[in-house]
Amino acid sequence: MDGPAKPTEQPLFATERDPRLRLIIPSIVAIAFLMEQLDSTILTTAIPSIAQSLDTTPVRLNLAITTYILTLAVFIPVSGWFADRFGARKIFALALFTFTLGSVLCGVADNVGMLLAMRGLQGLGGAMMTPVGRLILLRSFPRSGLITAMTYMTLPAIIGPVIGPLLGGLLTTYASWRWIFYVNVPFGLIGIFAALRFVDDFRDETVQRFDFPGFLMVGSGAALLQFGLENIGRPTISTWATALVLAASVLLLLAFGRYARRVAAPAVDLTLFRYRSFWVGTLAGGLCRVGLNGAPFLLPLMLQVGFGMSPITSGSLTFVGTFGALLIRPLLSTFLRRFGFNAVLTGSALLGSAAVAGFALLRSDTPHWIIAVYVFLFGIIRSAQFMTSNTLSYADLPGEKLSRATSLGGVLQQLSVSLGVSIAAMVLSLVSGQAHAPTADLFHWTFLLTAIIPLLPIPGFFFLRAEDGVQVSGYRRRGVRQLTPRLDARRP
Cβ burial, residue 196 (10 Å; 0-12/13-18/19+): middle
HSE at residue 247, side-chain half, CA atoms within 13 A, is: 6
- Is the model more confident about 169 or about 278? 278
pLDDT over 60 at 487, yes or no: no
For 47-105, what is each residue's pLDDT tens digit?
Answer: 777 888 888 876 677 677 778 878 887 888 888 888 888 888 999 999 999 999 999 99
For 317-331, what is each residue's pLDDT tens digit?
Answer: 887 877 777 787 778
* H or E element, residue 315: helix 311-319
pLDDT over 70 at 478, yes or no: no
The neighbour count for residue 189, using CB atoms within 10 Å, is 13
Cβ burial, residue 209 (10 Å; 0-12/13-18/19+): exposed
CA dist 242 and 276 (Å) reads 34
Pick the closest to residue 407 from 96, 27, 32, 135 (CA basis): 135
The conformation of residue 367, written as its DSSP 8-state character, comes to -
pLDDT over 80 at 491, yes or no: no
The neighbour count for residue 258, using CB atoms within 10 Å, is 9
pLDDT over 80 at 464, yes or no: yes
Pick the closest to residue 72 from 157, 147, 159, 154 (CA basis): 157
Residue 182, C-beta contacts closer than 8 angstroms, at least 6 positions apart: 103, 104, 107
Q: What is the pLDDT of residue 94?
A: 95
CA dist 356 and 321 (Å) reads 13
Q: What is the pLDDT of residue 95?
A: 94
The conformation of residue 354, written as its DSSP 8-state character, comes to H
Q: What is the dihedral of CA 150, 156, 161, 163, to 10 degrees?
A: 150
Calculate mean pLDDT across residues 167-193. Answer: 85
Q: How confident is the model at residue 452 (pLDDT cuts 50, 70, 90)?
A: very high
| Average predicted confidence (pLDDT) for the chain | 83
Q: What is the pLDDT of residue 483?
A: 44
Pick the closest to residue 360 from 447, 482, 424 (CA basis): 447
Q: What is the pLDDT of residue 280?
A: 94
